[in-house]
Structure 1
């Protein structure tokens, strides 16, 4: 039986199937009203882990979630990410892990999310231009100050995860990973060995014919959708995986969350495990 809950950092208990808010439109108008409704419906359906980031609209996504959900119900974790900023004459988004930038982004996130502490803060990317010890040391200082609860990473290698764990206690890793894209299997293995939450972004992705056709066949046999099969496979693949599928539609949200009840047989899992990654 696949467990439906996980303790991030050992004690922050969440439902394993979460929600990624990246795709929610934030501009004023009907689309924004739908975004608010989707976020609220996710919580109504029992989602306790919602993922956002400063990068998503320069904080607009964080403000949207606060408008939709504040005051937050007990047990709801909204995790955000810092470390990407607009810089230079053209104001392009670039990696920026300088301590002053990270500290400012955390202070802004606290204000936008209307909280005194971010229970899980993730470094969106490691900035190669700034010493890792400076980046993680800043987050550790914010943790000591009570503004950050737990620290996570995003898009790291197993070696980078190992280096980071020598500096801070890493509670989560958010890497690209799905049924048809398992490049970060070594990172997942490291997370599983250490009990670190692994939040796959882009948890559902379809390649060309072949592999996705096999997924569709399994879905038809189970009277499910290919998306549900992909999410159910993730939930059963490792106990530390916490998928965060995103959508801007309530019907897709409900479809995604229903995947938690889908039971893949061992024969189905064997077929899916052997799928080749698309070229």
Structure 2
């Protein structure tokens, strides 16, 4: 049986099933109150890893989490991401890995999250217009200053991960990955070999989608056998697939939050896991 916890960077222990805060409404009114209540329920249910980013509402998501949860429980890790900036002209986001921009976004994150140190800071995307050494060098400087604890990456290839590890110690990788979307399997294997946390985003993608009818039907069949939901089956598969996987499913609905958390207790039989393991090949042939 795989462990229910993981030590990010070798020392920061969190539960392996986390929460992605991106979907939480941050505007004023009843929707915000519901978001605050849900964030508090996340912690009440024992989740110790929450993922946010500067991009999510341009800081509004970070502020929401601070309003809901500060002062934070000792065991709670809120990880955030920097490296996407908002265009003053269009209001749209674009990659911006210039050191001064990264430093400014970290300072904003510290203020909004009401902390003196971000224990895990992830580069949201590598900016191809800025040397990688400059981007990671800026984060390393913040690490030396004590404003950042550990450095992670998002949406990287095996080659980029290797290049980054020559510059800084990489504690985490956050790539799109799910039961039916395993394009980043080589990155996962590289993380596994190095003991790096792998945080899949969109971890239940395809479980409910009609786009992959064969895969969807197989997931639904396994779910029926276990009296579970397709999303729970997808999360259980991820947790058993690799000990470094830390799924961060997101939702704005309390019932979905509780369903997702229950996936940690779901046990797939070897035969069921084998059927699910074969899904990508089946989906590609469909």
TM class, shorter-chain normalised? Answer: over 0.9
Aligned pair 1:248/2:252, yes or no? yes
**C-alpha separation between the residues in 1 aligned to 2:42 and 2:15?**
12
Equivalent in the alignment of 2:116: 116
- Look up the SS of the partner of 1:173 in the other structure: strand
The residue aligned with 1:274 is: 278
CA separation in 1, counterparts of 2:160 and 2:38? 35
Is 1:30 paired with 2:34? no
Distance 2:68 2:87 in 1: 30
Please tell me whether the aligned partners of residues 182 and 280 of structure 2 are also in contact (alpha carbons under 8 angstroms): no
Instruction: Tell me what 1:223 maps to.
Output: 227
Instruction: Provide the TM-score with structure 1 as the length reference.
Output: 0.99
Task: Tell me, in whole angstroms, the C-alpha distance in 1 between the residues paired with 2:232 and 2:189.
Answer: 23
- Show structure 1 runs of 5+ residues with no match: none
Question: Partners of 1:266 and 1:122 in 2: how far apart?
Answer: 35
Deviations 1:11-66 (A, max 9, x none): 00000000000000000011111101111001000000000000000000000000
Which residue does the alignment assign to 1:140?
140
Q: Distance in 1 between matches of 2:2 and 2:215?
A: 24
CA distance in structure 1 between the partners assigned to 2:52 and 2:82 by the alignment: 10
Provide runs of 4+ in structure 1 moved above 3 Å: none
Matched, 1:214 2:218: yes
Query: What's the TM-score, normalizing by structure 2?
Result: 0.96
Partners of 1:189 and 1:108 lie apart in 2 by 34
Alignment of 1:158-173 (within 5 A): 158-173=158-173
Whole-angstrom CA distance in 2 between matches of 1:99 and 1:117:
18
For residues 89 and 8 of structure 1, what CA distance do their matches in structure 2 show?
Answer: 39
What is the distance in 1 between the residues matched to 2:89 and 2:2?
50
Counterparts of 2:54 and 2:111, CA distance in 1? 12
User: For the aligned residues, what is the CA RMSD?
Assistant: 0.8
CA distance in 1, matches of 2:87, 2:171: 29
CA distance in 2, matches of 1:276, 1:119: 35
Indicate conservation of the 8 Å contact 2:173/2:199, yes or no.
yes
Note the residue ranges of structure 2 that are not aligned, 5 or more in a row.
none
Shift of 1:88: 5.4
* Structure-2 residue corresponding to 1:189: 189
Q: Distance in 2 between matches of 1:43 and 1:232?
A: 20
- Assess if the C-alpha contact under 8 Å between 2:195 and 2:244 holds in 1: yes
Aligned residue for 2:106?
A: 106
Cα deviations by residue, 1:132-168 (Å, 9 ceiling, x for unpaired): 0000000000000000000000000000000000000
Matched length: 279
1:225 and 1:87 map into 2 onto residues whose CA distance is: 40
3-state SS of paired residue (1:163):
helix
